Amino acid sequence: MGKISPVSAKYIVHTEIEIEGTVDRPDIIGAIFGQTEGLLGSDLELRELQKSGRIGRIEVISEIKSGKTYGTITIPSSLDKTETVVVAAAMETIQRIGPCNAKVAIKKIEDVRISKRNFVISRAKELLKEFTDNILPDSQEITEEVAKSVRMMEVQDFGPAKLPAGPAVKDSEEIIIVEGRADVLNLLKCGFKNAIALNGTSVPPSIIPLCEKKTVTMFVDGDRGGDLIIREVMGVTDVDFVVKAPDGKEVEELTKKEIHKALRGKITSEQAKLEVKDTPTPRTTLRKTGNSRPTQRAQTNTRTYSKPTTQRTYPQRSVTPRKAVVSMEKKKQFKKLLEDLVGTRGAFILDANMKVLGKVPSAEIQNTLRSLKDINAIVFDGIITKDIATLAEKNKVSYLVAMDAKIKDSESKVHILIKKFL
């Protein structure tokens, strides 16, 4: 009896037989052992190989057709490749089985490990796909997702205009008026549940009676648009305090510490009026008066301001200046750095001399932009979003290089470079 099966063998020899007569299965097996005995020496004797378990059970399948016997012989082998083919070749020396002439031919020698390897590769691909589709997020992603869902559930619609507002707007004695929904969400994240958004520059009617009953704090972005909103709101309703985000920052970008610091430094509405008294009259107000001269005067004053920092411009109407062409040498440098980052989810921070200042995770790019100065380029394994491009533009970054981008190069002052164009 053989000690191995085709399942545990390394190779399987498949043989076809043709016998010119009628013989039984025992006759075929006897011919295999009898006619190969002593042919290959004691080391490759079939009986001894079976006893040691190096040759498995020899399977013979036969059938009789038109007075001839046809069949197959299957020999499992755990010998090495050379010894296996020698044993297989010995099978073809069989010329007679019983009283009949016979012809034995090796059909193929199957490497069982290749079949198993192909199965492993195929199954591994299926498992990888399932794993990728159903992968569990890391702990940070879980906490962020839970916190986001809680904040979204807490945001309510206020009034006919369905303004985004925190759950405590109706019951709180104090409210914070911000510009948009993202500002309300950020304040909720930091524990302020009494914020309400304007959803634009105009003042919704539902906010006016609310401001008459409660202590109102205006919290706007640290840009020109924030000044316009302050003036617009104070011209329509009563505001008790005014807070501005740090220059160049938006309320939705502020950390909890920055929000608390800003609110502690709030000023009264009277002081805010003094600070914005030089602000040109908004276009909506000028249209209501029907007087074209103030518009002309405001435009003239804008042109005669000597300091560029005091020039009154509308950000939404600014035109992105034409950018210089990126040299081939720089593209090659960026391409090499990007190739080094493939699969790492990391980011290289470069200075003006194209030297690497450090490497950070791609998820920390925005925090890095807020904390570091003099960044010339960022190369990272990820996708360039509008938020990253906006923050990079504010920090005077010249190049953003990544695998892909959700923003076009023409939409930003920063050079947007992706892998397929390098």
Strands (E), 261-405: 267-268, 346-350, 356-361, 377-380, 383-384, 399-402, 404-405
Question: 375 and 393 in contact (C-beta within 8 Å)?
Answer: no
Exposure pattern of 327-361 as b/e (b: 16+ CB <10 Å)?
eeebeebbbebbeebeeeebbbbbeeeeeeeeebe
Question: Among 34-38, 172-176, 180-184, 302-306, whose mean pLDDT is lowest?
Answer: 302-306
Q: Is the pLDDT of residue 176 over 90?
A: yes
Q: Sorting pLDDT into bands at 50, 70 and 90, what band is 103?
A: very high
Query: Quick one: pLDDT at residue 16?
Result: 93
Question: 9 and 76 in contact (C-beta within 8 Å)?
Answer: yes
Q: Can you tell me the distance from the alpha carbon of 180 to that of 184, in angstroms, rounded to the nearest whole number?
A: 7
What are the contacts of 255-259 at 24+ separation with CB within 8 A? 256/189, 256/190, 256/191, 259/186, 259/187, 259/190, 259/192
Q: Can you tell me the distance from the alpha carbon of 137 to that of 39, in angstroms, rounded to the nearest whole number?
A: 65
Q: Is the pLDDT of residue 39 over 90?
A: no
Share of the chain above pLDDT 90, in %: 20
Contacts of 90 (CB under 8 A, 6+ apart): 36, 39, 40, 44
Q: How far is CA 326 from CA 331, 417, 422, in A?
A: 7, 9, 10
Please give the full DSSP string across 76-121, using - where no structure is assigned: EE-S-HHHHHHHHHHHTT--EETTEEEEEEEEEEEEHHHHHHHHHH
The average pLDDT across 237-251 equals 88
Q: Can you tell me the distance from the alpha carbon of 222 to that of 258, in angstroms, rounded to the nearest whole number?
A: 12
CA atoms within 13 A on the CB side of 265: 9
Q: Can you tell me the distance from the alpha carbon of 175 to that of 219, in angstroms, rounded to the nearest whole number?
A: 10
Comparing CA positions, the residue from 405, 417, 420 lying closest to residue 334 is 417
Query: Quick one: pLDDT at residue 296?
Result: 41
Query: Quick one: pLDDT at residue 303?
Result: 46
Contacts of 302 (CB under 8 A, 6+ apart): 280, 311, 312, 313
Say yes or no: domain 141-275 is CATH 3.40.1360.10.
yes
Question: Among 155-159, 293-297, 392-396, whose mean pLDDT is lowest?
Answer: 293-297
Which pairing describes strands 241-244 and 267-268: parallel, antiparallel, or unpaired? antiparallel
Residue with the larger pLDDT of the pair 378 and 278? 378
For residue 56, count CB atoms less than 10 angstroms from its CB and return exposed for 0-12, middle for 13-18, buried for 19 or more: buried
> Which tokens go with 64?
């009789």
* Segment 113-138, tens digit of pLDDT: 888 888 899 899 888 887 776 665 56
Radius of gyration of the chain (CA): 41
Query: Quick one: pLDDT at residue 135?
Result: 61
Phi/psi at 417 (nearest 5 deg)? -120, 130
**pTM of the predicted protein model:** 0.34
List the 346-350 sheet strands across, edge first. 356-361, 346-350, 377-380, 399-402, 415-418
Matching CATH topology for 11-115 and 328-421?
no
- Domain range summary for the chain, segments of one domain joined by +: 11-115, 141-275, 328-421
> Which tokens go with 180?
């948009």
If you ran DSSP here, which 8-state letter would residue 296 be given? H
Say yes or no: domain 328-421 is CATH 3.30.2270.10.
no
Residue with tokens 């006919």: 160
Q: Can you tell me the distance from the alpha carbon of 158 to that of 183, in angstroms, rounded to the nearest whole number?
A: 15
Which pairing describes strands 163-165 and 156-158: parallel, antiparallel, or unpaired? antiparallel
Return the number of other C-beta atoms located less than 10 Å from residue 183's C-beta.
26
* Segment 51-84, tens digit of pLDDT: 888 898 889 999 999 889 999 999 999 898 899 9
Residue with the larger pLDDT of the pair 224 and 285? 224
Q: Can you tell me the distance from the alpha carbon of 258 to that of 64, in angstroms, rounded to the nearest whole number?
A: 93
Query: Quick one: pLDDT at residue 140?
Result: 64
The CATH architecture one would assign to domain 11-115 is: 2-Layer Sandwich (3.30)
